[in-house]
Amino acid sequence: MPSEGSINFFKPVEKIGVIGMGYVGIPSAVLFADVPHFKKVYGFQRNSESSGYKIDMLNSGISPLKGDEPGLKDLLKKVVSENKFECTSDFSKISECDVITLAIQTPFKNRDSLIPDFTPLKDGLEKTGRYMSKGSLVVLESTITPGTTEGMAKEILETESGLVAGKDFFLAHAPERVMVGRLLQNIREHDRIVGGISSYKPSDSGEKLILDGPDSPSTKRAIELYSPVLTKGKIIPMSATAAEVTKTAENTFRDLQIAAANQLALYCEAMGINFYDVFRGVDSLKGEGITRAMLLPGAGVGGHCLTKDTYHLERGIKIAAENSAKIANTGLNAGSPDPLDFPKGKDSLYVLARQINDFMPHHMLTLTKSALRRAGKDIKGSKIALLGWAFLANSDDARDTPSEVYYNLCKEEGACVFIHDPHVLKYPGVEISQSPEDVLKGADAVAILAGHREYYQMRPEIISGLINLKNGNPVIIDGRNVILPDAWIDKGFVYKGIGRGDKNGHPVRLDIPTGG
């Protein structure tokens, strides 16, 4: 084992353990296994009721992941047949590994508390600490609250192993930035953020020199691990905490950009103008590095990433302030101010962005009720055709979907809601139809919640033939800018669209045929 802070590793990385055979761990493990000079990769998977089945599947060269992952099937078969990858629930094999990476889920306990449930991750860290050898590198790939690597993870590993982080073993955070559907490509091509913990080495004068970020031996060891896997991507070294903030901030900023578009859309509606005119205008200011990356407004923000990573970041600064206060109280630097200087009593901009994005399904309800009123109907007792349950266009992923919020709000108002989605076949607690006719027949209102390509094909004359014309004008609410308002207004629809202040107050045709 190198002396404290030394960067001369005594042996190259040969055996790797990846804990957590999921969307992140499986592609990560098979890519490591395909590197010629990495001799063996163990995929550690606990033999739980919900996921234990993966062990035999993986050892048979079959991926347990849903959906198509280009290249994964063949690569998995290859590394299994070469005996370079083996899935196991025998965690004692961790002792053979030079490197252990943890790709374990880090969900929030519930949408309200927004406190992460680190139970599975802590279990993975305890097993790692129990079996890891001196000189090994531990890397957390899970999305975690900033401060976790230098904090909770380091504490658990040191307690379980009796070793000292940064001296007897290396510790880093290398967050995953993959998208389901292109896991291998993303790992190979995205730049890789690598953040090792700080180490210390004695200077000639006997003082302790801090080796941090790119100079940290843990960072350097992690670079040795990830470099052979990258094709287009390059390594971006930094400190462990900076790596944690990078991961959570990249999604926080995307959420913020979407919230900015949503707020502007609400302003445009209130001022009777078309958001998309303003979008084109603002977007035209390009060149000289002065572009404004404006994103698009919509019926809300769903998914596993953007709905949570802001709260990881917020929790990270809260913990940093608490830790600072603890030091302040120990008299080391008594009375030191709160490390965060921020306008007193003001909410975080990022939390406000989350609140604006979470408001959008509520705005969809406002538009629905207003349109039904203009058609002389009450939402209570109305039939609403909800088009699009997935949180993302042309996807079957419905995690944290805004459609569920809108659905529950309409039900609370006494509406009967029928759901259509061509990609999401089932979801707990609701029925989802793949037949547009069944959902649209007799509907008083059509609400578009996801921008699936199928919905761009809808024609007003076809839809009006299906829905309920007998008691007044049909209604359509467009949450994803899918339809052209005039064509539908001409057919007698009452139209409302997010950001469409220029059309939301359109005159309503009263001479529509109510059908035979």
Ligand X SMILES: CC(=O)N[C@@H]1[C@@H](OP(=O)(O)OP(=O)(O)OC[C@H]2O[C@@H](n3ccc(=O)[nH]c3=O)[C@H](O)[C@@H]2O)O[C@H](CO)[C@@H](O)[C@@H]1O
Ligand Y SMILES: NC(=O)c1ccc[n+]([C@@H]2O[C@H](COP(=O)([O-])OP(=O)(O)OC[C@H]3O[C@@H](n4cnc5c(N)ncnc54)[C@H](O)[C@@H]3O)[C@@H](O)[C@H]2O)c1
Nearest to 18 by CA among 76, 73, 77, 71: 76
282 binds, among ligand Y, ligand X, none (CB under 5 to 8 A by kind): none
Q: How far apart are CA 97 and CA 493, in angstroms?
A: 65
Among 29, 31, 104, 174, binds ligand Y (CB under 6 A): 104
Q: Alpha helix (H) ranges present in 34-177?
A: 53-59, 72-81, 119-131, 154-161
**Strand residues in 3-39 grouped as ranges (E):** 15-19
Nearer to ligand X, 303 or 436 (CB): 303
From the list 130-138, 172-180, 335-343, 488-496, the region that binds ligand Y by CB under 6 A is 172-180
From the list 120-128, 234-242, 344-352, 416-424, the region that binds ligand Y by CB under 6 A is 120-128
Tally of CA atoms within 13 A in the half-sphere of 241 that contains its CB: 12
Q: CB 266 → ligand X: shortest distance, Å?
A: 13
Q: CB 280 → ligand X: shortest distance, Å?
A: 15
From the list 175-183, 213-221, 427-435, 455-463, the region that binds ligand Y by CB under 6 A is 175-183
- Residue 303 and residue 392 in contact, taking contact as beta carbons nearer than 8 Å: yes
Site mask for ligand X (CB under 6 A), range 272-311, x = bound:
-----------------------xx-x--xxx-xx-----
Residues 6+ apart with CB under 8 A from 379: 368, 369, 372, 410, 413, 414, 415
- Residue 338 and residue 321 in contact, taking contact as beta carbons nearer than 8 Å: yes
Q: What is the DSSP letter of 288?
A: T
Instruction: Indicate left, alpha or beta for 4 from its phi (over 0: left) and psi (-120 to 50: alpha).
Output: beta
CA dihedral 398, 400, 403, 405 (to 10 degrees): 150
22 binds, among ligand X, ligand Y, none (CB under 5 to 8 A by kind): ligand Y
Q: CB 312 → ligand Y: shortest distance, Å?
A: 9
19 binds, among ligand Y, ligand X, none (CB under 5 to 8 A by kind): ligand Y
**Residue 403 touches ligand Y, criterion: CB under 6 A:** no
Give the residue at shortest CB distance from ligand X.
Answer: 303
- Name the 3-class secondary structure at 25: helix
Q: How many CB atoms lie within 10 A of CB 283?
A: 12
Q: CB 123 → ligand Y: shortest distance, Å?
A: 4
**Strand residues in 412-473 grouped as ranges (E):** 416-420, 432-433, 445-448
**Residue 156 touches ligand X, criterion: CB under 6 A:** no
**Residue 1 touches ligand X, criterion: CB under 6 A:** no
Q: CB 474 → ligand X: shortest distance, Å?
A: 25
104 binds, among ligand Y, ligand X, none (CB under 5 to 8 A by kind): ligand Y
**Residue 144 touches ligand X, criterion: CB under 6 A:** no
What six digits make up the tokens of 303? 């998914």
Nearer to ligand Y, 125 or 498 (CB): 125
**Residue 225 touches ligand Y, criterion: CB under 6 A:** no
Q: CB 394 → ligand Y: shortest distance, Å?
A: 16
Residue type, 342: F
Residue type, 488: W
Positions that interact with ligand Y (CB under 6 A): 19-25, 44-46, 48, 51, 54, 103-106, 120, 123-124, 142-143, 176, 178, 180
Positions that interact with ligand X (CB under 6 A): 177-179, 250-251, 254, 258, 295-296, 298, 301-303, 305-306, 391-392
